[in-house]
């Protein structure tokens, strides 16, 4: 009996060490700052959901990830043929293909961020019901596929620059010391605008596809009202005040300032863009938190 008690006493500490660690998940405290803090703690999942978006988009396709470069190539080729060839639009002293491809890359970052973030919760509905992941992380993950599309579109613009440099020995860019700051600020604003749209629409889009359809058509309409296929200077003076109210115009003007410093820039449009970011994110975060608790 004594021997059995001694063996039992020796085995007890080992059994205690083998017990699994139990973590208690507490509900997040309300507040915008707490939501952003939780986003930072779970930031490692952003790349995971970004890859998941791409996998779902190109699932059950023969070409697979080859569609990543094919989609922007086919898209810009058609528009270049129509706007630069048939319509005959120009961009001042800059070759139209260079202007169009570089500005289109910036637009792609905004539009794809908006579309991916608006669909993010609906695409990951099943997974989100099984694991504890802040829904805000899923929405922000839209920056991954939109950045890839932006880089591919930007690469087409760089190829156009190389073509004209080899042809006429002119770079058609005027890069200065503030160019990286200007371009970086513009890209951040465009990404914030796109994800801000997703904050406002993602929860409703998870319940009804009407949101996604409406957003797709809305962005297509806004594309023609934004100085992407034409320079801001080409807008008639009577309509420039309306163009300045377009939230994307200011970000594109900042982007263009980093590439073509001598072009006209609208300070009013830039202020509208910054105001639009706050107008989307502050109410959007508050509204998203309320819907997250109610719907999920």
Name the range with the highest mean pLDDT among 6-20, 170-184, 199-213. 170-184
pLDDT-derived band at 4 (thresholds 50, 70, 90) equals: very low
Q: What average pLDDT does this structure show over 184-205?
A: 92
Q: What average pLDDT does this structure show over 62-67?
A: 87
For the entire predicted model, the pTM comes to 0.86
User: Where in the chain are the domains?
Assistant: 41-281
Q: What percent of the chain clears pLDDT 90, i.e. is strictly above it?
A: 48
Is 50 exceeded by the pLDDT of residue 177? Answer: yes
CB contact at 8 A, 287 and 296: no
CB contact at 8 A, 272 and 253: no
Q: What average pLDDT does this structure show over 272-283?
A: 93
pLDDT-derived band at 5 (thresholds 50, 70, 90) equals: very low
Lowest average pLDDT, out of 1-5, 76-80, 202-206, 225-229, goes to 1-5
pLDDT-derived band at 127 (thresholds 50, 70, 90) equals: confident
Average pLDDT, the chain: 85
Tokens of 189: 């604003």
Is 90 exceeded by the pLDDT of residue 155? Answer: yes
Q: What average pLDDT does this structure show over 247-274?
A: 88
Q: What average pLDDT does this structure show over 123-144?
A: 87
Cα 279 to Cα 79, 125, 187, 251, 276: the distances in Å are 32, 27, 18, 15, 5
């Amino acid at each position: 009996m004594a021997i059995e008690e001694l063996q039992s006493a020796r085995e007890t500490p080992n059994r205690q060490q083998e017990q699994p660690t139990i973590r208690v998940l507490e509900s997040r405290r309300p507040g915008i700052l707490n939501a952003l803090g939780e986003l930072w703690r779970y930031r490692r999942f952003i790349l995971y959901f970004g890859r998941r978006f791409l996998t779902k988009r190109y699932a059950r396709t023969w070409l697979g990830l080859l569609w990543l470069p094919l989609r922007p190539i086919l898209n810009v080729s058609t528009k270049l043929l129509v706007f630069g060839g048939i319509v005959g639009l120009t961009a001042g002293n800059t070759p139209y293909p260079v202007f169009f491809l570089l500005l289109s890359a910036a637009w792609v970052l905004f539009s794809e961020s908006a579309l991916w973030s608006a669909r993010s919760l609906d695409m990951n509905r099943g997974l989100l019901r099984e694991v504890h992941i802040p829904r805000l992380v899923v929405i922000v993950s839209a920056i991954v596929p939109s950045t890839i599309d932006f880089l591919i579109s930007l690469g087409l613009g760089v190829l156009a620059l190389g073509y004209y440099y080899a042809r006429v020995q002119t770079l058609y860019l005027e890069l200065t010391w503030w160019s990286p700051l200007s371009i970086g600020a513009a890209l951040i604003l465009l990404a914030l605008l796109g994800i801000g749209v997703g904050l406002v629409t993602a929860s409703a889009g998870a319940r009804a596809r009407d949101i996604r359809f409406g957003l797709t058509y809305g962005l297509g309409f806004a594309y023609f009202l934004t100085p992407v296929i034409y320079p801001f200077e080409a807008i008639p003076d009577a309509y420039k005040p309306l163009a300045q109210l377009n939230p994307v115009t200011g970000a594109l003007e900042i982007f263009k300032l980093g590439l073509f410093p001598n072009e006209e820039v609208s300070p009013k449009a830039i202020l509208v863009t910054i105001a639009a970011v706050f107008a989307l994110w502050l109410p959007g975060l508050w509204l998203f938190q309320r819907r997250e608790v109610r719907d999920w």
